[in-house]
Amino acid sequence: MVQFVGVSEIRRIVAQVGIDTVLTRMVDYLEADFRRWDRFERIPRLASHSPGGVIELMPTQDDALYSFKYVNGHPYNFERGLQTVVAIGLMAEVETGYPVFLSEMTILTALRTAAMSALAAKHLARPDAKTMAIIGLGAQSEFQAAAFRAVLGVETLRVYDVDSAATAKFVRNMAGRGVRVIACEEPGSAVMGADIVTTVTADKVQATILSDNMVGAGVHLNAVGGDCPGKTELQKDILSRASVFVELTEQTRIEGEIQQMPADFPVTELWQVIRGEAPGRTRRDEITLFDSVGFAVEDFAALRLLRDLATETGQYETLDLITSPADPRDLFGLIAPAAAAAAQAA
C-alpha cells in the first residue's frame, strides 16, 4: 500500500508538530541532502507548455529513493480565483521501482522554498542579522517570515506590496508570532536598515523591484521571485556588486536573476559552501545573493521529511495503487477470475 498525505493530513501534521519545528527540521533535511549533492541524479525537468501556462515533472533519485514533483505554473489562474501553482509529489523505492508515498505538494513546496532560503541565509547572511525586508506579500511571504524567525531569529520585518490587501493579509497572518511587522509605503523604505532583503513578487516580467542604490554594504539578498525565463526582480548592477550563490548553475543561468548576466558570470553552488568546499560570506561588508529557483533535490528532502512526519504522527491514509497478485504473472486473474468466466459460460 502507498502512504498518502492530502491537504487535510498536512494541515493536521503542521498543527500537531508546530510550524516552527516543521521548518527547522526541513532546514536539517535540506542541509543533509545538500551535503551529499553528488549522490543525486540531476536531470533537467520535463516541461509541457501551453498558451495558459506550463506543467513540469521534476524527478531525482539517490541510491535508495526516487522522487518526482508534478507542478504547474498558470499566471491567469489568479483571475479565476485559483492558485497559480499547485503540486503533487511521489516517492518510490529505487530497488523495486514501487511507489511508497504520495502527497500534496502545494503547501509542502511553500514550506521547502522558505526553509531553503533560511538554509542559504544561515550560511550567507551576517550572523547578527535581525531585520529582514520582504518585497512582495503573496502566498510565499509568510512562509519566508516564519522560516527566518524560526531558523535565524529574525525579529523585525519591514514589508511592502503594491496591493494593500496583500499587506493586510500578511499583517493579520503574522500577528502573535513573535515578530514586529512594519508595513512600508514603498520598497525604498522597506529595505532601509534591513540586514536581509527578500524579494518575492509575482509579476511575470523583467521588473526592477530593487535598484542598485537601495542595496547597502553587508546585506544578504534572498531573491525568490525571479524563477523563470523572462522573470527577474533585481537591477543588473546589483548582481555585479554581489557574491552570487545558486542551486544548480546551468538551471539558474536560464531561470534565475543571473539570466541577465553573461554566461561566464561567476557563481558558487550552495552545496559547496555547505560542505565547506567553497567560502560563503568572507567580509561583513560583502553583499551576498541567493538566486533561488528551486531544484528537485529540495523536493526530495521535503518529501523525505513529510513521509517521516506522517509516520511519526500517524497522519496519513493508504491507497491501493499497486496490484499484488499472488503470482506476479497472473495480472489477468485479478480482474477477470477464471471461475467467474467459467460460471458465465455455463
327 is catalytic: no
Q: Taking the alpha carbons of 230, 50, 104, 173 in that order, is the dihedral positive or negative?
A: positive
Span from 25-33, 191-199, 261-269, 331-339 in contact with a second copy (CB under 8 A) = 331-339
Check if the beta carbon of residue 251 is closer than 8 Å to that of residue 321: no
Is 186 a binding residue for a second copy by CB under 8 A? The answer is no
One-letter identity of residue 6 = G
Does position 61 bind a second copy by CB under 8 A? yes
Pick the binder of a second copy from 16, 77, 156, 313 (CB under 8 A): 77
Given the complex with a second copy, which of 170 and 290 has the nearer CB atom?
170
Q: In sequence order, which residues have a C-beta less than 8 Å from that of residue 66 and are 6 or more positions away?
A: 59, 60, 91, 92, 93, 94, 97
Q: 315, 16 in Cβ contact below 8 A? A: yes
User: Does residue 265 touch a second copy according to CB under 8 A?
Assistant: no
- How far apart are CB 44 and a second copy at their closest, in Å? 9
Cell of 315: 497522519
Give yes or no for residue 92 binding a second copy (CB under 8 A): yes
Nearer to a second copy, 53 or 218 (CB): 53
Task: Between 174 and 287, name the residue whose CB sits nearer to a second copy.
Answer: 174
Is 82 a binder of a second copy (CB under 8 A)? Answer: yes
Exactly one of 33, 161, 195, 227 is catalytic; which is it?
Answer: 227
Q: How many residues bind a second copy (CB under 8 A)?
A: 92
Q: Identify which range of 121-129, 205-213, 234-242, 319-327 contacts a second copy by CB under 8 A.
A: 319-327
Position 328, amino acid: P
Q: How many Å apart are CA 233 and CA 224, to the nearest integer?
A: 9
Interaction with a second copy in 18-37: which residues (CB under 8 A)?
Answer: 19
Candidate ranges 11-19, 181-189, 219-227, 241-249; the one touching a second copy (CB under 8 A): 11-19
- CA 67, CA 101: separation in Å to the nearest integer? 9
Torsion of CA 56, 60, 65, 66, to 10 degrees: 40
Q: Which of 3, 10, 120, 227 binds a second copy (CB under 8 A)?
A: 10
Candidates 36, 39, 52, 153: give the one binding a second copy (CB under 8 A). Answer: 52
- Which residues, numbered 99-138, are part of the site for a second copy (CB under 8 A)? 99, 104, 106-107, 110, 137-138
Taking CB under 8 A as the criterion, the residue among 25, 177, 236, 275 binding a second copy is: 177
Q: Minimum distance between the CB of residue 186 and a second copy, rounded to whole angstroms? A: 20
Binding span for a second copy by CB under 8 A among 97-105, 187-195, 208-216, 246-254: 97-105
Q: Least CB distance from residue 229 to a second copy, whole Å? A: 18
Minimal distance in Å, beta carbon 107 to a second copy?
6
Interaction between residue 330 and a second copy (CB under 8 A): yes
Angstrom distances, CA of residue 314 to CA of 90, 91, 209, 310:
18, 18, 44, 6
Work out which of 35, 36, 39, 172 binds a second copy, going by CB under 8 A: 172
Site string for a second copy, 132-171 (x = CB under 8 A): -----xxxxxxx--x-------------------x--x--
Which residues does the annotation mark as catalytic?
227
